[in-house]
Every structure is written in C-alpha cells, then in structure tokens.
Structure 1
Amino acid sequence: MTAARTLSPPRSPARSLPASARRRVVAALSGALTVAVPPAAEAQKRSISLIRDAEIEQLLRDYAAPIFKAAGINARGTRIILINDRAFNAFVADGKSIFVNIGVLMDAATPNEVIGVLAHESGHLAGGHLARLRQEIQGAQILSIAGLLAGAGAVVAGARSGGGSMGNAGIGAMGALTGPQELVRRSLLAYQRSEEQAADRAAVRYLGAAGMSAKGMLTVFGRFAENSAFLSRSIDPYTLSHPMPTERIAQLETLAKASPHFNKLDPPELQARHDLMRAKLMGFVEREAGVARRYGMADRSMAARYARAISDYRSGRMAQALAAIDQLSAEEPRNAYFLELKGQALLEAGRAREAVPVLRQAVALAPNGGLIRQMLGHALLSTGQPALLDEAIRELSNAASREPDSADAHQHLSNAYAAKGNIAMAELSAAQYAFVKGDWTVAHTQASRALGKLPKGSPAALRARDIVDYVPPDKQR
C-alpha cells in the first residue's frame, strides 16, 4: 500500500492535464457532488494525497461492477480513486472518476454501505450532473453579471437623487449589489440539492437492478443524521448543497423498503474481504496504540491478525510480522495480497533477494495486478543481479502499461534500462516519470534526448514525440 500525489494523468500526454490543474478541478467541484462536504476553509488547508493498493482497488472494482452495469457506465473507462483522508466523503470530479476517502472504507461496517455510496456517485456520473452543473454555473455567472449591473445602476440613481450625497442611497446600493449574488448562490444550491436527490433515487434503482439492498444507504444517511442533529436547528436548509440527512432518509426509505432485496445480506466471503480491507487500512493508517485498541490480542479473527501483522511490520518487529503473515498465507494460500505484504516488508527491510520469490508467487496468483508487478520489478532491480535485469524490465514495462499514472513504475524502469545500458529507453522512462509528476521541463528535456537515439517511427519514439510536442495548459493560449 503506497501513497501517491498525482491524480490521474491520461495515457496520452497530448490529452493530459497537469497535476496542479487536476487538483484545482477537484477543489472546485468536490463541494458540489459529495456525500459529505467538509468546511471550505478546512478543505483549503488540506492537500489531496492519494493511496494506491492492489487489494483495496480490486475490492472496490468488484463492489462497483454490478452497479456500473445497472447504470450503463463503462467500467473500463471509470476509475475509483482512494484519497488519504479520514473524513467520510466521496465525490465525482471529472465525469469518469469516483474519489473515495479512506474514511468511507474504515467507517463502513459492511460492503453494502460502501456499495450504496458508490451507487450514489454512479447516479451523478450516469446523470451527467457535472456537465449540467457547469451549464448552471455559466447561467449563474450571466445572472450575477446582470445583477451587478442593475446594482451599479441603483448606485448611480441613488447618488443623483440624493443631491450628490451617497448617504442612505449607499446602503440601498450595497443591498442591490449583494442581493443578486445571494440569489444566484441559493439558486445553484437548490440545483445541487435536486441533483443529490436524483442521484439518491438513481442509486436505489441501480441497487435493485443489481439484486442488492439499499439498506446500506439508509445506514450511511442515518449516521449523517446523528452527526448533524445538534446543528439542524441552526442551519438554514436553503444554504446547503445537500438535502438534510433526515430528509434524505424520509425520501428514500419507502423506495428502499419496496425492493424485494431490502433485507438481503452481503455474501460472507465478501464481508470477509471487506473486514480484511478495513484491517489493512487500520494497520497502515492508525498508530500502533489505535490498532491495539481496535484489534486486541484476544481477537483471533483473520482481520485482526492482518492488522496486527501490518502494525508489527511498520513498528520494526519484522520477525513477528513475517511469522504472522506466513500463518495467514498458510490459511489462505491463494491470497495474493498476503504474499504481496510479505514481499513489501522484505523489500523495504533491504532483503530484496528474499522478496523476489514471494512476489513472483503473488504475481502468479494475481497476474492482472499492475501494482504487484511493479513491486516485483523493483525487487528484481534491487537485488543488483545483472541476470535479473531482463525480468525486471519485463515486469516494470508490464506494470507501467497497466498503471500509466504510476510514477514509481516509470522511475524503476528508467533505472533498470540504465543498468542494462539502454540509455535511450532510460531517458524515455525518465521523461514519462517526470511527465506523471508534472515536471514538464524535465519531461521535455529527457524525451528530446531519447528521441535522438530511438529508431524513427518506433512506438517508443512516438511516445517521446508526444511528450516533446506537449504544451502545458499554463502555456496554451
């Protein structure tokens, strides 16, 4: 499990947005289409940090697959991205990505609760709410400009009628200047509330079509209702971007209970994976004391032992951690993610040669796991054995093609090519690494160097040319 800073650069540099621009888009839109919106000042203080993890991402894809099918959403073209934030929050920002805070996963006791959140966000994607919101904002800007012009006219009229003194006319003029903006703001908020309600109703439909219960959605909104109960008397509901939780529950409860699937429980094997996912997050995110409180030694469940093994590994108790992971693997020998964790622990402890066979096993069990292949390639490279360089390049190239926005994959691949003496490909991989990181100057320089060495017309040369020809948005006219 690793942290990442970049959002999601596309596969082709010519169509990319810089990371800074993507962060601005998220900051601008997250308040519009979220399950729970943090205060604006707090959001501005925090930078967005992403988490990559093969196990959690696969589980979320499995959660979302039937929902996407019911909603008519292209699962291949839609990503679920994890944000390293403990708040219970999820949102869509670009029409093809669902951003989920790890707080959603850590607080949700059942898969159905997370699935309900994904169904709601799918309602926004399928409904085209972002595009429609932009249209509303454009319309609001026109209304706002008109209102400001009308207010300015009132100032002039007041000044003329007041014999040259602004006096009371100035007070009236300020009301005229600010009034239209407040009306516009409330109009946009009303629009957003209507879209939230539409997404809620769509979510119930998708869940029903997928043969799932909407009870998890009600549980989530019930939690919000409890948290906001003390504020409900002082909040003006017309200044919120979302309906009040109690209102949402009232609107959805009848629809949800009408479904024949309302009392359907999550399959035990899915609940077990969910429990392991929560334990993994706790082990990596929480302090050792927090893990101990949540998963005491008396708890012998697989999830508890998973969390404690991760906590031991992070705390430097390597022998204890490896013994616990080996026990977990013995109980579930086809669990690639237990092996991945062991490989990660060995690699980070400087024991790359021991990590390689473990990670090879993990890749054999999860051949589509780009992040696991990336770790295997890194381990192969870290052994310092020239005989393993070709295998390292194969694994890292595979990983980079599966995870084109992984800066680490490109960086390790550049090092592997350099160790092999293939300077052109080392420079191209360095260019791709810099591109993903948003360092356009270095990316351009490295790609230009590579372009002079690569065979003309080759796929590698075309990739280098894409980077050389790319014009960052801040340089575009």
Structure 2
Amino acid sequence: MTRIFARFLAVIAAFGMVAQPAAAQSILRDAETEQLLQDMMDPLAEAAGLGAGSVEVVLINDGSINAFVAGGQRVYIHSGLIGAADTANEVQGVLAHELGHITGGHILRFEEGIGNATKITLLSLLVGIGAALAGSSDAAVGAMALGQQAAQRSFLSFSRAQESSADAAGAEYLSKAGISGRGSLAFFGKLQNYEFRRGYSQSDEAGFARTHPLSGDRIANLRADYEADPAWDTPSDPVLERRFTQAKAKLFGYLSPPERTLQFYPENDQTVPARYARAYAYHKDARLDMALAETDALLLDDPDNAYFLELRGQVLLESGKPLDALPNLREATRISGHHPLIASTFAHALIATEDEAYLPEAEQVLRAAVGRDRENPFAWYQLGIVYGRQGDMPRARLASAEFAILTGKPTEALSHAEYAEANLPYGTPDWIRAQDVALQARDQLERMRERR
C-alpha cells in the first residue's frame, strides 16, 4: 500500500511541475532587440484584436530552440530560437503561434488537462487499493501502471490539441496582418530536421507520446491554408529583416566566445552585422582599439544610430573610460527618446566617473528610467548608489528594496522597505511605495513558506 500511494504522489507531482517554465531562467535586456521583437509582435497583436503594445516579448538567455507563454500577455522566447531562425518572418511565425496560446486562454485551461489526468490516476488508485485489499499486490501495481499510462496519454492529448489550436490561430493572425506564412513553414521544417538529427521517431505511435504534434503533421496541416492565403507571396518587410540580421549578429557576439564569433564573422566580412558581432568579440577579448575600430566603422555609415552609439559608449565604459563614454551615451539616450535601458547605462557612466558634480544628472536620468520601466533592476541599483552618495539613506534603502524584490530576494527587500517606510516623510509617494514593496516581500515570503 505504501508503494502504491508513493507512486500516486509521484504522478501528481509530475503533472504539477509542468506549469513552471519560466522559473530560474535568465532574462536578457537589450533596447534594440526588445524594440525589434515588439515591432514584430505588434501587427500580430492587432490582428488578434488585442492592440499594439498589449503583448510583451521577453528574451531569455537559453540556447535551446523554444518559446512559451506562462500567464498574462507575455511571450517568452529563447535566444537559441533567434540564433536558429534565418529571417524575421520565421520568428513572426513563432510569435503568432504563441499569441494563439494567449488568445485561446491555454494557460488558464492548463488545470483542465491536469484535472482530467488526475481523475484517471485517482480511479486507478482506487482500483489498485481494492486489489491490494483483496490480497493481490501484483494486480494493484498493474492497475496503477495502466492508470498512469492512461493519465499521461490524456494529458499529452490535451496538450497536442492546444498546440494544434495555437497553430490555427497563428495562421489566422499572420493572414490578417498581411504576413506570409512561408517563415512559419520554414521554421517547422527546421524543427523537423532537428527531430530527424536527434533520432526522434516520426511514427504515429511516437506522436501519441509527445506534448506537440509531429512537425511533419503540422506542416501538412498548415501548408494548404498558408499557400491559399493572399499574403503567401507578400515579401517580408526589408527593414524588419535588416534589423533582425543585425540584432541576431549582436546577440551572437554578446553570447558566444570571442573565438567562435570571429570564426563565424571573419575580418574579411565587412557587413554591418559582422562588424556588430566582432565589436562585441573584441571587447570581450579586451582588444579595445579593435572594438572601437568596428564601432567607428558602424557610425561612419550611420552616425545617428542610437544603438551603435550605445555600443561605443559601453565599450569605453566597461574598459575603464567612463568620461570618454559620456558623449556617446548622452547622445544615444537623446536619440532613443531616453530609452530606459540606454539611459541606465548613461547614468552608470555618470556615476562611474566618481565626480560628485554628475550625481544630480544621474539621479534625474535614473528617476526617469524607472518611471518608464519599473522592472529594471540595474537602474534601481544605480539609483540606490546615487542616493547613498548624496546621504539620502531612506531613498537609498527604498531603491535597494526595489532591486531586491526584482531579483528574488524578498527577505532583503523587506528589511530595506521597512527601514525606508520608518524614515521617509509620512504619506509621501516614496513612503507609500515602501509600504507596497514591503507587502510584495511579505507575500513572496509567505508563498515560499507554503511551498516548503
């Protein structure tokens, strides 16, 4: 009986863990890439009736080819998927599919799939208990095993149905947005090739043991609809494709070892994406002059590009030259419309000069940055430094509380927030915010205790 019940608990736990896909994964923040992904998502969100800007795309530092939703109107996309895609059109096909999960309420319905599987498991448990009480332990274990298989198949069937529904919705949104489905089919083809290389069986029986339909089946189901769509022969937006190629190279240079970047983008490649990637490779390899030569070449052709200016300033700042970085970062901040991420780097340079005269400007820049993007831990950390240097400890501790709550440190956040609340003027916006952060921290701590 103990063995039967333990197996039952293991099955229930396995179903319960599926809904935690975003836990402990590292988010990549980059102004250029985030804007690109948002511009790729917005026409699809409008086609889905949600409106531009309503669905956020979050980039995760993970080399696997994956994208998912985890509640709310956010799509998470792995850096490995960006690397595997050849075009922006392919990524838009993935985004359209994930948008189908959001509009279909699939995360909210996830418990429905778990519930059906759990009912099957409970019934098999009761049968197993009956057999055990009758003295047949082998029959009890057999009943549990059959029940577990049936529960698993029930859940996998539910999951495949959701995936097929998201495929159909994604095709609809691409069509309404006037975007060709060629990229979607091309990316499914990449997934199919991946399955072949990994030796995954393409048989019907193997398909029943998967959370997703076989890629070949998905291609077959979608091809006719895509080819009949008026947007099938519509060329992809050339500006979007150029931006994607540059952002992909930038990501490659940032994430890959320098030697791999230089192999993939050799010095005889004088294109903008290659220079972009090499600038990061040389910077990571502490070859300052060569990194600056690449950024200077980029700026020679496009002197008002905020992202090229940001990169040059970043190279100088991280090479111990914050004063030299200020003109580039100040101009990048201005041209980008004071984008919070670029502004945060500019403020970092102001602080890194260790010149007290720059602190008021750094405070102004950072307060504007967190006002537009409160989920920016780096900006809060820098703001805490500014307040600390100015001797304003209550606000320094409040900024530290914001940083701690965003980085998963509720105990530390609670300590800072309680200090800030006790020492800030009663009833002020900062005092109210300190209360809010303290409540968030207590809620996180309570949930942690409940999980334990």
TM-score normalised to the size of structure 1? 0.86
CA distance in 1, matches of 2:75, 2:16: 11
CA distance in 2, matches of 1:225, 1:444: 49
1:374 matches 2:347: no
Q: Tell whether the 8 Å contact from 1:276 to 1:306 is kept in structure 2 after alignment.
A: yes
Measured at CA, do residues 146 and 368 of structure 1 come closer, stay the same or move farther in structure 2, by a change above 3 Å? farther
| Structure 1 counterpart of 2:172 | 205
RMSD: 2.1
Work out which of the residue numbers 87, 97, 102 in structure 1 matches 2:64: 87
| Structure 2 counterpart of 1:357 | 327
Q: Tell whether the 8 Å contact from 2:131 to 2:137 is kept in structure 1 after alignment.
A: no
Sequence identity (%): 36
- In the alignment, residue 299 of structure 1 is paired with which amino acid? D
CA distance in 2, matches of 1:241, 1:29: 13
Q: How does 1:322-341 map to 2 (within 5 A)?
A: 322-341=292-311
Q: Tell whether the 8 Å contact from 2:67 to 2:75 is kept in structure 1 after alignment.
A: yes
Q: Which runs of 5+ in 2 are unaligned?
A: 1-13
Q: Tell whether the 8 Å contact from 2:316 to 2:325 is kept in structure 1 after alignment.
A: yes
1:179 matches 2:146: yes
CA distance in 1, matches of 2:16, 2:60: 12
| Structure 2 counterpart of 1:297 | 267
- Name the SS for the 1:443 alignment partner: helix
Work out which of the residue numbers 196, 203, 209 in structure 2 matches 1:239: 209
CA distance in 2, matches of 1:349, 1:151: 67
CA distance in 2, matches of 1:233, 1:284: 36
Deviation string, structure 1 residues 434-466 (Cα, Å, up to 9, x no partner):
221222222122112212221211110001111
| Structure 2 counterpart of 1:387 | 357
CA distance in 2, matches of 1:461, 1:116: 46
CA distance in 2, matches of 1:282, 1:233: 32
CA distance in 2, matches of 1:455, 1:102: 44
| Structure 2 counterpart of 1:225 | 192
- Name the SS for the 1:373 alignment partner: helix
Q: How does 1:315-326 map to 2 (within 5 A)?
A: 315-326=285-296
CA distance in 1, matches of 2:412, 2:16: 26
Q: Tell whether the 8 Å contact from 1:30 to 1:92 is kept in structure 2 after alignment.
A: no
TM-score normalised to the size of structure 2? 0.91
The offset of 1:397, in angstroms, is 1.3
Deviation string, structure 1 residues 282-314 (Cα, Å, up to 9, x no partner):
111112222122212222111111111221111
Moved more, 356-365 or 289-298: 289-298
| Structure 1 counterpart of 2:247 | 277
- Name the SS for the 1:129 alignment partner: coil
- In the alignment, residue 194 of structure 1 is paired with which amino acid? A
| Structure 1 counterpart of 2:233 | 263
Q: How does 1:57-68 map to 2 (within 5 A)?
A: 57-68=34-45
- Name the SS for the 1:299 alignment partner: coil
- Name the SS for the 2:208 alignment partner: helix
Moved more, 60-69 or 308-317: 308-317
- Name the SS for the 1:82 alignment partner: strand
1:153 matches 2:130: yes
Q: Tell whether the 8 Å contact from 1:59 to 1:273 is kept in structure 2 after alignment.
A: yes
Q: Which has the higher contact order (CA 8 A, sep 6+)?
A: 1
Measured at CA, do residues 26 and 428 of structure 1 come closer, stay the same or move farther in structure 2, by a change above 3 Å? farther
- Name the SS for the 1:136 alignment partner: helix
CA distance in 2, matches of 1:199, 1:410: 38
Q: How does 1:7-86 map to 2 (within 5 A)?
A: 28-29=18-19, 48-73=25-50, 75-86=52-63
The offset of 1:279, in angstroms, is 0.8
CA distance in 2, matches of 1:408, 1:280: 21
- In the alignment, residue 446 of structure 2 is paired with which amino acid? K
Deviation string, structure 1 residues 166-206 (Cα, Å, up to 9, x no partner):
xxx33222111121221111011101101111111111110
1:117 matches 2:94: yes
Measured at CA, do residues 298 and 98 of structure 1 come closer, stay the same or move farther in structure 2, by a change above 3 Å? same
Moved more, 228-237 or 271-280: 228-237
CA distance in 1, matches of 2:20, 2:404: 27
| Structure 1 counterpart of 2:426 | 456
Deviation string, structure 1 residues 364-401 (Cα, Å, up to 9, x no partner):
11115210011111111111222211110111112222
- In the alignment, residue 200 of structure 2 is paired with which amino acid? L
- Name the SS for the 1:91 alignment partner: strand
CA distance in 2, matches of 1:232, 1:445: 54
Q: Tell whether the 8 Å contact from 1:137 to 1:188 is kept in structure 2 after alignment.
A: yes
CA distance in 2, matches of 1:30, 1:439: 19
1:193 matches 2:157: no
Q: Tell whether the 8 Å contact from 1:30 to 1:91 is kept in structure 2 after alignment.
A: no
- In the alignment, residue 421 of structure 2 is paired with which amino acid? L
Measured at CA, do residues 117 and 268 of structure 1 come closer, stay the same or move farther in structure 2, by a change above 3 Å? same
Q: Tell whether the 8 Å contact from 1:413 to 1:429 is kept in structure 2 after alignment.
A: yes
Moved more, 239-248 or 177-186: 177-186
Q: Tell whether the 8 Å contact from 1:204 to 1:256 is kept in structure 2 after alignment.
A: yes
Moved more, 121-130 or 284-293: 284-293
The offset of 1:405, in angstroms, is 2.1
- In the alignment, residue 376 of structure 1 is paired with which amino acid? F
1:432 matches 2:409: no
Deviation string, structure 1 residues 212-265 (Cα, Å, up to 9, x no partner):
001111001111112223422576211100000110000000011011111222
The number of residue pairs the alignment matches comes to: 431
Q: Tell whether the 8 Å contact from 1:72 to 1:126 is kept in structure 2 after alignment.
A: no
The offset of 1:75, in angstroms, is 4.7
Measured at CA, do residues 100 and 443 of structure 1 come closer, stay the same or move farther in structure 2, by a change above 3 Å? same
- Name the SS for the 1:58 alignment partner: helix
1:406 matches 2:376: yes
Q: Tell whether the 8 Å contact from 2:411 to 2:445 is kept in structure 1 after alignment.
A: no
Q: Tell whether the 8 Å contact from 1:337 to 1:362 is kept in structure 2 after alignment.
A: yes
Q: Tell whether the 8 Å contact from 1:26 to 1:93 is kept in structure 2 after alignment.
A: no
CA distance in 2, matches of 1:335, 1:294: 24
Q: Which runs of 5+ in 1 are unaligned?
A: 1-23, 32-42, 160-168
| Structure 1 counterpart of 2:5 | none
The offset of 1:326, in angstroms, is 1.5
